[in-house]
């Protein structure tokens, strides 16, 4: 029987619920290996295709979101094994294919691949215990799951260089100042806060949520003129949805909108 390296459950009691996935290799501080990433990818894809799921939260343990790629599993890899097996690309970035919002709820260590996994999510809510870093340089390697690309986009060149070249960790307060995380909350409120954000998102109109995510992501893939033009087309398209009519009518009638996600 395959070991469950993640735990999954649905939370919330609205028409659309939040999929909560907990990384579950506590003894190894949730070190990420191919099996875990396969299981995580499969869970994310299943929820992405499930109309009853409106948002996803990815979390770890109190001590570690994830302490990086599993060093024991890759220590003896040769170049040719890494290259021909397409290490990382093959299955670690399934997250990028997910069209529904994914929130990372991070407590404790988010290092190396763990920091990179958090950065692949749409936003990060951090516990005050969270510590972020790209310590690969200390292992004689560099980040391999997007860290050298996503970190500078999140925190700017200077801090990204500092973290990637020295391998030092930054605490939650520094991560918030730098713009890596959207908010910092007390550790015992982390899950509640992330699930509350999930519930809010679940109650919004599904098409507008998906298009909003797509447009913000477009900001990282295009110049301003193209990005704004892309946004404008999406904005226009939403006038074809029932949710736009409901949202605006509800506002004018001073009642709460009830979206049909259509």
Helix (H) or strand (E) holding 230: helix 224-237
Residue placing its CB nearer to ligand CAA in the complex, 47 or 109:
109
What is the closest distance, in whole angstroms, from the C-beta atom of residue 87 to ligand CAA in the complex? 9
Q: Which of residues 13-32 bind ligand CAA (CB under 6 A)?
A: 28-29, 31
**Is the separation of the CB atoms in 61 and 26 below 8 Å?**
yes
Shortest distance in whole angstroms from residue 6 CB to ligand CAA: 17
Q: Please pick, from the candidates 20, 40, 67, 194, the single residue that binds ligand CAA as defined by CB under 6 A.
A: 67
Query: Of the residues 31, 54, 105, 136, which is catalytic?
Result: 136
Distance CA 3, CA 117 (A): 21
Q: Are 48 and 100 in contact (CB under 8 A)?
A: yes
Rounded alpha-carbon distances, angstroms, from residue 245 to 67, 205, 255: 46, 11, 13
Nearer to ligand CAA, 138 or 183 (CB): 138
In three-state secondary structure terms, 131 is strand
Q: Which of residues 120-149 bind ligand CAA (CB under 6 A)?
A: 135-136, 139, 143-145, 147
Q: Is residue 198 at the binding interface for ligand CAA, with CB under 6 A as the rule?
A: no
Integer CA distances (angstroms), 230 to 96, 192, 217, 237, 261, in order: 19, 34, 11, 11, 21
The answer to whether residues 205 and 58 touch, using CB atoms and an 8 Å cutoff, is no
Structure-block tokens of residue 212: 């909003």
Q: Does 161 bind ligand CAA (CB under 6 A)?
A: no
Among the listed ranges 12-20, 107-115, 180-188, 220-228, the one in contact with ligand CAA (CB under 6 A) is 107-115
Closest separation in Å from C-beta 77 to ligand CAA: 11
Q: Is 116 a catalytic residue?
A: yes
Q: Which residues are catalytic?
A: 69, 113, 116, 136
């Amino acid at each position: 029987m395959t070991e469950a390296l993640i735990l999954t459950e649905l939370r919330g009691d609205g028409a659309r619920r939040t999929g909560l996935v907990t990384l579950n290799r506590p003894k190894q501080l949730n070190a990420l290996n191919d099996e875990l990433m396969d299981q995580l990818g499969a869970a994310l894809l299943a929820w992405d295709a499930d109309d009853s799921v409106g948002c996803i939260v990815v979390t770890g343990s109190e001590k570690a979101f994830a302490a990086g790629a599993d060093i024991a599993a890759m220590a003896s890899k040769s170049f040719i094994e890494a290259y021909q097996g397409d290490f990382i690309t093959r299955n670690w970035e399934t997250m990028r294919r997910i069209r529904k919002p994914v929130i990372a709820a991070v407590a404790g260590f988010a290092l190396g691949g763990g920091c990179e996994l958090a950065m692949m999510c749409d936003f990060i809510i951090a516990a005050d215990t969270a510590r972020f870093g790209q310590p690969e340089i200390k292992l004689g390697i560099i980040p391999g799951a997007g860290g050298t690309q996503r970190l500078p986009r999140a925190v700017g060149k200077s801090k990204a260089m500092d973290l990637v070249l020295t391998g030092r960790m930054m605490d939650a307060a520094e991560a918030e100042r730098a713009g890596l995380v959207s908010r910092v909350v007390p550790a015992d409120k982390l899950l509640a806060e992330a699930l509350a954000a999930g519930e809010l998102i679940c109650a919004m109109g599904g098409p507008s949520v998906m298009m909003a995510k797509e447009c913000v992501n477009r900001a990282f893939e295009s110049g301003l003129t193209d990005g704004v033009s892309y946004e404008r087309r999406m904005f226009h398209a939403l006038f074809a949805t029932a949710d736009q009519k409901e949202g605006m009518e509800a506002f004018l009638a001073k009642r709460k909108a009830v979206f049909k996600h259509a």
